[in-house]
Structure 1
């Protein structure tokens, strides 16, 4: 299965759409509960921070035509997790300086197939990004190879095939249309040939109506004969159309199943190769293990930040209640991202990781209270500036 990512200027109603704050007639509401969301900041708040930082850093106001906040729609698989998208976000920040601050996984959009009448889901995710260059205060400047790299990073992080780029994709689309038209022409020719064969057969002699004229000669009654032929042709056309629709529907289903089988076999093969490589090389094993546990830790932190964003006073309570909330968050992370609970235990066994997590909750792993608070976006920008 192929994926792609394409950033454009964020729309005014982005948050309403992404987080289902309104009812939309193109979604399947009984599937909306399967959607997942993560927010680090509101679009309006982030835009104000970007404007202030641009003024502070460059001494000028943000240009009116600047696009400092952008949004991408990413094609995902049914089993793509929020952890996968946080991993993608981290890579985009590390390699292209793109900072994702909102994610929405949508599993309630799609359409009903006109032939099979089955629901065809359109699995995708919306990534809203801060496009400001922290070194200049202006918007990031990317070239064509950077956008190509985005596609590579996305395919790698989501473990999917990379979409075909530009002209090649358009060429294949044109070739496909030509092929379909050729198939339609062939089908039409076959139908004409079949009709001619039937017209030449004695089967149609019964449709010819003859009557004696006043001289006693047998002559064809044109109007009645044409009426009989029209009735038979209508019946044949209806039958041919029905058979064509059934054939197309079955062919489509078979093609989809074959493609799904190919994709699954490819995915299994890649996972086997990756596992073999990891197990046969201690350095690779250690590196992959570190990457995985860092990803798990980051996912836990992101969920905690999201919960604090939704309910700022959620963790302003006793240590016992905070631990209970954390336990609930860990279970949620485990279930939604297919993370073994043993992996979460490994995270909390690591002193540095556990300290980083507990500090977000205003307590450390020894139960000592901290007075730390989440650093606002603007302060983070200043911190980055001072460290340069």
Structure 2
């Protein structure tokens, strides 16, 4: 276990070095960010075990980075574990109720996609999975980390976001998958979507606590409505644009302060200050 931890930590650091080398060669900016904790659940796709192990390589993943991924079980091992959990649940449920489980097979597997940062390992993800299992009764099947996905950032108009040199920007899509079995050992369905939507706050708390990450915004506490769901690419693009705007605003404020100090030393009047504020407002990025 100790050796696996160090191997996985090495992979987490290696992906940064490989990407920086490739971006330098291709004259491409690499967008980095410290992600906030986020845990999203959905019913699993039929091929999810193969997706997680990369037995089925998606078009948006880079084959040369495949070796940097981590997975707790092979696709066959995960499928066998699912089959075993299902057989146990069916047996126990029938012994208790003398009835068969009514939940459809496609509703028995659920996937959690979790934000991670470069330092996180498979052991960290497995710790989150265990906490969720203990708290809510769903059973862990497979955990995986994907470090081989990235894309060129685009804005809302489907145009590439460029850096100060006019180069396109690569955004790493670091994330983890946890596959769960929806029934507990007694065959009781522990995943009903309407209930889990209400329990979202607890899930985000678990993710933030176990991964040592800043928690995502608590919309319930702030009284604001949560934004409509975005897919991973839309979310990454939105965050990248926001980050770049924050940097620009920070630089702009620094320049504005210098100019105000210069006006002060020059004995400027109120009209001069008003013109400066007007110009600052004109060039400040809009939300």
TMscore range, shorter length: 0.5 to 0.7
- Superposition pairs of residues 56-95 of structure 1, within 5 angstroms: 56-59=91-94, 60-65=99-104, 67-95=107-135
SS at match of 2:203: helix
CA distance in 2, matches of 1:88, 1:257: 36
**Cα deviation, residue 14, structure 1:** 0.7
SS at match of 1:157: helix
Query: What are the Cα deviations for residues 191-229 of structure 1, in whole angstroms up to 9, with x where unaligned?
Result: xxxxxxxxxxxxxxxxxxxxxxxxxxxxxxxxxxxxxxx
- Superposition pairs of residues 3-18 of structure 1, within 5 angstroms: 3-18=37-52
Query: What are the Cα deviations for residues 321-355 of structure 1, in whole angstroms up to 9, with x where unaligned?
Result: xxxxxxxxxxxxxxxxxxxxxxxxxxxxxxxxxxx
**Cα deviation, residue 130, structure 1:** 2.0
Say what the alpha-carbon RMSD is for the aligned residues: 3.2
Q: Is the 8 A contact 1:96 1:146 kept in 2?
A: no
**Cα deviation, residue 12, structure 1:** 1.0
CA distance in 2, matches of 1:61, 1:82: 36
Q: Which residue of 2 aligns with 1:139?
A: 189
The alignment of Structure 1 onto Structure 2 pairs a total of residues equal to 182
SS at match of 2:171: strand
Q: Is the 8 A contact 1:58 1:137 kept in 2?
A: yes
CA distance in 2, matches of 1:257, 1:84: 35
SS at match of 1:170: coil
With over 3 angstroms needed to count, the CA separation of the structure-2 counterparts of 1:55 and 1:63, relative to structure 1, is: same
- Superposition pairs of residues 240-279 of structure 1, within 5 angstroms: 252=244, 255=247
Pair 1:150 & 2:203 matched: yes
Gaps (5+ residues) in structure 1? 174-248, 259-388
Give the TM-score, by structure 1 length. 0.42
Q: Which residue of 2 aligns with 1:130?
A: 181
Pair 1:160 & 2:213 matched: yes
With over 3 angstroms needed to count, the CA separation of the structure-2 counterparts of 1:70 and 1:124, relative to structure 1, is: same
**Cα deviation, residue 3, structure 1:** 1.8
Give the TM-score, by structure 2 length. 0.55
SS at match of 1:120: strand
Q: Which residue of 1 aligns with 2:22?
A: none
Q: Is the 8 A contact 1:19 1:37 kept in 2?
A: yes
CA distance in 2, matches of 1:120, 1:257: 21
Q: Is the 8 A contact 2:82 2:141 kept in 1?
A: no
Asked which structure has the greater RCO (Cα within 8 Å, sep 6+), the reply is 2
Q: Is the 8 A contact 1:4 1:162 kept in 2?
A: yes
Q: Is the 8 A contact 1:71 1:126 kept in 2?
A: yes
**Cα deviation, residue 88, structure 1:** 1.1
Gaps (5+ residues) in structure 2? 1-34, 154-159, 231-240, 251-287
**Cα deviation, residue 161, structure 1:** 1.9
